[in-house]
């Protein structure tokens, strides 16, 4: 099998797993969202440390520990991604999976806007058109939902902010996740211990199956990220840019066909505007990515996909893309 085909296989596996994880969190609905979130942090750290131990990949950690600036940035990243994970779990487990899908549909557009506001990036006309259509879609869906889709906006802006923070940290996805979960480990474990001590926890009080599902949340988080890192070195930016939309499409289909959420015509209309915006966005990205001499990340215009080559000896993942742009800010792997 060629390297390109291996990359496609790894990439498709990563995004399919991220999409299928939407079905995982409702299995834990008997636990509160905060309990699920804290278990996810604890067991994600265990899973990531296991992967790093197998690969004997530890030298990077010393450099992180010696840099207060990096630790501060990763602390901010950990807080923001915790908000993102928490909102996703809340949305899915409260019957609002369509809002989760909307959040990840509009995330690349939010990232583009952040690139303009923070890095003074210039957008092409097609990108402005896509952003404008995205704003119209949010307005339509605000009417359709009978209120502002806070879960969607919260997930889109928190993940875009996560990418913004990661712009200044040159670690791959597994390394970054290891530090972020390590920073959140003490409060997460403390909350889990408090719940168990007061009898409010569900880790050991329901069933062995439920316990295994809580432990498995670490694997559900780490395994797709590992596959994504292996894909990211083998396939083009444009291909990953298109693969990333597999996740919200799957989430929308789950909301519609599996969870049977109420999707009146007004919501379909709002999502249709989002899809038109993304077609414009993706077409512009692909057209400019094919131009000779154009840096792939610049061609993506700040929204589309993670790609590039390893920086500072690190393996590809969720950190920086080509030209030093943040992969999470460029669309990036899905955090849900």
| Mean pLDDT rounded to a whole number for the chain | 83
DSSP assignment of 29-80: TTS-HHHHHHHHHHHHHHHHHHHHHHHT--HHHHHHHT-HHHHHHHHHHHHH
pTM given for the model:
0.81
Residue 255 DSSP symbol: I
Task: Please give the Cα distance from 175 to 178 (Å, whole number).
Answer: 5
Predicted pLDDT at 237: 64
Contacts of range 56-63, beta carbons closer than 8 Å, 24 or more positions apart: 57/175, 57/315, 60/171, 60/175, 60/313, 60/314, 61/175, 61/178, 61/179
Tens of pLDDT along the chain (336 residues) come to 788 888 889 888 988 999 999 999 999 999 999 999 999 999 999 999 998 899 888 888 888 888 999 999 999 999 999 999 999 999 999 999 999 999 999 888 888 888 888 888 888 899 899 989 999 999 999 999 989 999 999 999 998 898 888 888 888 777 888 999 999 999 999 999 999 999 999 998 889 999 999 999 999 998 888 888 788 777 776 677 778 888 999 999 999 999 999 999 999 999 999 999 989 988 887 787 666 544 444 433 333 333 333 333 333 333 333 233 334 344 455 557
Q: Is 320 helix (H, G, I), strand (E, B) or coil?
A: strand
Q: If 0-12 CB within 10 Å is exposed, 13-18 middle and 19+ buried, where does residue 57 land? A: middle
Q: What is the pLDDT of residue 118?
A: 84
SS3 at position 326: strand
Tokens of 86: 């928490």
Per-domain residue ranges for the chain?
Answer: 3-324
Asked if residues 82 and 34 have their Cβ atoms less than 8 Å apart, the reply is no
Nearest to 335 by CA among 126, 214, 159: 159
137's enclosing H/E stretch is helix 125-145
pLDDT in tens, 94-133: 999 999 999 999 888 888 888 888 888 888 899 899 989 9
The tokens describing 248, both together, are 């919200």
């Amino acid at each position: 099998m060629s390297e390109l085909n291996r990359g496609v296989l790894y990439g498709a596996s990563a995004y399919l797993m991220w999409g299928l994880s939407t079905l995982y969190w409702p299995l834990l609905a008997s636990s509160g969202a905060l309990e699920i979130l804290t278990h996810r942090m604890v067991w994600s750290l265990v899973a990531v440390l296991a992967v790093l131990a197998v690969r004997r990949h530890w030298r990077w950690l010393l450099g992180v520990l010696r840099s207060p600036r990096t630790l501060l940035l990763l602390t901010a990243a950990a807080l923001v991604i915790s908000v993102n994970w928490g909102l996703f779990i809340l949305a899915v487990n409260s019957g609002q999976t369509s809002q989760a899908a909307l959040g990840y549909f509009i995330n690349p557009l939010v990232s583009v806007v952040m690139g303009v506001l923070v890095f003074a990036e210039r957008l092409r006309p097609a990108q402005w058109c896509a952003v404008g259509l995205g704003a119209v879609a949010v307005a339509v869906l605000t009417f359709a939902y009978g209120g502002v889709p806070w879960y969607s906006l919260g997930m889109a802006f928190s993940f875009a902010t996560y990418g913004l923070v990661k712009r200044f940290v040159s670690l791959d996805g597994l390394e970054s996740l290891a530090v972020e979960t390590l920073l959140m480990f003490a409060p997460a474990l403390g909350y889990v211990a408090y719940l168990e001590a007061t009898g409010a926890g569900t880790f050991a009080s329901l069933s062995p199956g439920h316990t295994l599902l809580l432990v498995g949340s670490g694997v559900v988080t780490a395994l797709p990220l590992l596959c994504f890192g292996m894909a990211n070195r083998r396939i083009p930016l444009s291909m990953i840019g298109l693969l990333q939309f597999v996740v919200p499409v799957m989430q929308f289909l789950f909301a519609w066909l599996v969870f049977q959420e109420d999707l009146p015509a007004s919501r379909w209309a709002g999502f249709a505007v989002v899809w038109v915006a993304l077609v414009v966005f993706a077409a512009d990205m692909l057209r400019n990515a094919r131009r000779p001499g154009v840096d792939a990340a610049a061609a993506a215009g700040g929204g589309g996909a993670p790609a590039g080559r390893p920086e500072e000896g690190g393996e590809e993942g969720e950190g920086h893309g080509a030209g030093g742009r943040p992969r999470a800010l460029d669309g990036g792997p899905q955090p849900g």
